[in-house]
Amino acid sequence: MPITLAQAQEARRNIASVALRTPLIRCNRDEPANLYLKLENLQPIGSFKIRGAANVMARTPHERLRRGVLTASAGNMAQGVAFCARRIGISATIIAPDTAPATKIRAVERMGGRVIKVPSPSGGELSRLVPTQVSTPRSSTPSMIRTLWRVMAQSHWNCWKTCPM
């Protein structure tokens, strides 16, 4: 099912107090094609993943959020979840592969996230380990993916409106 403009606008409202509205800059001046960069590295965690984490938490009922949040990630999504959880005063548990970079793990811990390292699964299916490692409830994957896509649609709409073509 396609994401509607109304859903993208809702996502924009949901993340407005958390994610920065980052600039869109032209990269090349002397090339035949126009290339623009969306500077998501200026976000508080250095990544656009803060947008998805903020939108998912904004759409989750408060009674569920009180129990804390959980994600399986080795990096930027883990940081986005930990950042947003700290901001609203709830716990964040991060399931990370034991091969995750130490810098990413330390960043999550600095933001108050609890990291549980698990053996790195073959095929990259980290999320399948979550139910066996932690008893914290988690959102259903299809719902979370759809919420993340709403944020991406909002971001693309913002780029389209900003880009001088």
Q: What is the pLDDT of residues 131-156, one digit of tens each?
A: 433 333 344 344 444 555 555 555 55
Question: Of 116, 150, 143, 146, nearest to 130 (Cα)?
Answer: 116
Lowest mean pLDDT among 25-34, 56-65, 89-98, 127-136: 127-136
Structural domains of the chain, ranges and CATH numbers in brackets: 1-60+141-165 (no CATH), 64-138 (3.40.50.1100)
> Six-digit token pair at 10?
């809702």
Q: Full-prediction pTM beyond 0.85?
A: no
Residue pair 56/77 in contact (Cβ under 8 Å)? The answer is no
Q: What is the pLDDT of residues 59-91, one digit of tens each?
A: 999 999 998 998 888 889 999 999 999 999 999
CA distance 7 to 147: 9
| pLDDT for position 78 | 93
Q: What is the DSSP letter of 142?
A: H
